[in-house]
A and B are shown apart, each in its own frame.
Chain A
């Protein structure tokens, strides 16, 4: 009979450095974390690198987890930090598009049901690094602008501005896709 473990059950084993517990934890959350990495990365290959580095950090730092909050939430934070660190390492943070290049699309409803996840991911991956990180942290991970500003060493205003432009950029792309009626072709 297959024994089921929760993530918290695996915590102690990971703290002791047991390879079996580490692998079980990996199997349990790898897909979720890969999903997160795909949003921050610009390609699947880069997302795999983030995933690998993120798990290494988790296993290295798990002994320091003091049980404040959920274990999975702590792991997600490590992955977000790892993603930011890797993007910074590649010095792509300055790679922002100019303000003029973003046309402010009027907010509208979108048919998200007809949108393929991979197309949406591809659009997010096409966002400039700064926009993508802020959008991911604020809209998808629930960070506040203050936390984002601290994490990225930018002002809260810059965080808000980048979030706004990221949304506008995404919406404009979604409108184009919806009008063209072919998400897949647009998103490679």
Chain B
């Protein structure tokens, strides 16, 4: 056999192959066109979609942040200024603070009177007189309440019971003598001498009647307040700090 040079061999192979014109399946162009469409659509739309998505997420984040801050603000424990129905309980340091006492005769039995007596016997100037089965308790000072006598040096309520004491004497035998029996009512008082002017306590919504609800925020935080009530003094303060707009 004749020897064939490499370059001739290569040339023969190339010629043979170049003469070949294979048929290309139609699906190839379909795939190419489809892929090009996807790339064209994708390249054009992706940035826009990303921008829109970014904007949506930004808005959502802002709303979430606003809601979160709002809820946090609302959920903050509201402090209520502790006030009495008629006047503030807040007293000067060292003062005894009386709590409201029910002033009614309904709970007192017949012949019983509830009085406030001074704890200072030296200054007590009561004239107690027995008139039949009635008891009249009077005082030099004007009474502040028909049923209650207030003393200067402390206001301790006292129950006065009309009792009959029996005395047996050799001459008259058994003698019945009306007498008064006194019993102090321990009125709960706020003994906390550390009460300061602006002491605050937390109350449930049902407990705020007869108390003034006020904002704990200082300064101009309390924008609106409402007062006036038949029951005494019901004040409602609305804190509109969050809505306040500085012009």
Contact = CB atoms under 8 A, between A and B. Distances in A.
A117 interface: yes
30 contacts: A17-B40, A19-B33, A23-B33, A26-B29, A30-B24, A31-B24, A32-B21, A34-B22, A35-B18, A35-B20, A39-B17, A48-B24, A48-B28, A56-B36, A106-B1, A107-B4, A107-B6, A108-B2, A108-B3, A109-B2, A110-B4, A110-B9, A110-B12, A112-B12, A112-B13, A118-B20, A120-B13, A124-B17, A138-B10, A140-B13
Given A60-B39, A117-B17, 7 more contacts: A17-B40, A30-B24, A31-B23, A32-B21, A35-B22, A108-B1, A112-B13
A55 B9 contact: no
A51 interface: yes
Nearest to B6: A167
A79 interface: no
A15 to B, nearest CB: 14
A31 B152 CA distance: 120
B5 interface: yes
A140 B9 CA distance: 11
A84 B17 CA distance: 19
A19 B10 CA distance: 38
A176 interface: no
A109 B4 contact: yes
A52 interface: yes
Interface of A is mostly: helix
Size range of the chain B interface in the assembly: 20 to 34
A76 interface: no
B17 A107 contact: no
Size range of the chain A interface in the assembly: 35 or more
A106 B9 CA distance: 13
B12 to A, nearest CB: 5
A19 B36 contact: yes
A110 B10 CA distance: 12
Interface in A8-24: 17, 19, 22-23
B168 interface: no
Contacts of B21: 31-32, 35
A140 B33 contact: no
B17 A140 contact: yes
Contacts of A22: 33, 36
Contacts of B28: 30, 48, 51-52
A170 B28 CA distance: 30
